[in-house]
Amino acid sequence: MKEISIWILGGLFAYLLGSIPFGFLMAKSQGKDIRTLGSGNIGATNVFREISKKLGILTFALDAGKGLSAVLLIPLLASKITGVAYEGMGLPLLCGAMTIAGHNWTCFLGFKGGKGIATSAGMLIGLSPLCVGIAFFGWLVTFLTTRYVSVASVTACIVLSVAVWPFHMNREGIWFPAVLTALAALGIWKHRANITRLLAGTESRFDFKKKKVK
């Protein structure tokens, strides 16, 4: 029972950390509700477009920091509190997944949140930096080619779901890349509204020169 407590506590801490809606808070600091602007998403891209570039970048960094902290710090904290030592990648992966769940379905905003891409990136920097580097390369090439953040994000999810298998299956076992692939699939599913807009030709491209009209 004591061994189970570290998993329960770690997962709970991770979910609460992930639930902090930084994009929503950034917009509120400017007197706005990001859920009523643009795509209605609380993530960094919508904050970047609708509030300010500076706050959008800060939102991305903070959301990524949630994922990174979840896999590096929360397992240590849970271990210290429970007195149970953890081994392997199981607990860090659980904490990372629960942080993504918190971001996507935050308890502070009626269980509605973002898409989890930045948080996933932070998690992967802690768990598999090489794979996240490969996925980021796919994101960058796609973004510069299409200027669609959504297309780039979906591409990164697909690249990641493929890259994790040769790098991790023999070392961690099949469960590790399987969970990461499932999280990548979740990222794609969270973009279903963007995919619908892409098919309809109404998805917004990223405009580097666009200035917000006050």
pLDDT at residue 2, as a whole number: 75
Nearest residue to 72 (alpha-carbon basis) of 125, 147, 18: 125
pLDDT tens sequence across 80-136: 999 999 999 999 999 999 999 999 999 999 999 999 999 999 999 999 999 999 999
Q: Is the pTM of this model over 0.75?
A: yes
Point out the least confidently predicted range of 3-12, 24-33, 139-148, 198-207.
Answer: 198-207
Between 3 and 41, whose confidence is greater? 41
pLDDT at residue 199, as a whole number: 95
Nearest residue to 40 (alpha-carbon basis) of 109, 100, 96: 109
pLDDT at residue 212, as a whole number: 46
d(CA 121, CA 203): 23
pLDDT tens sequence across 179-196: 999 999 999 999 999 999
- Do residues 136 and 129 touch, judged by C-beta distance below 8 A? no
pLDDT at 214 over 70: no
pLDDT tens sequence across 14-39: 999 999 999 999 999 999 999 999 99
Tell me what the mean pLDDT of segment 2-23 comes to: 95
d(CA 176, CA 202): 37
d(CA 14, CA 71): 9
Tell me what the mean pLDDT of segment 37-49 comes to: 94
- Model confidence band, residue 7 (pLDDT cutoffs 50, 70, 90): very high
Name 93's Cβ contacts closer than 8 Å, sequence gap at least 6.
71, 127, 176, 179, 180
**Residue 110 host element (H or E):** none
d(CA 71, CA 81): 16
On the 0-12 / 13-18 / 19+ scale of CB atoms within 10 A, 77 is: middle
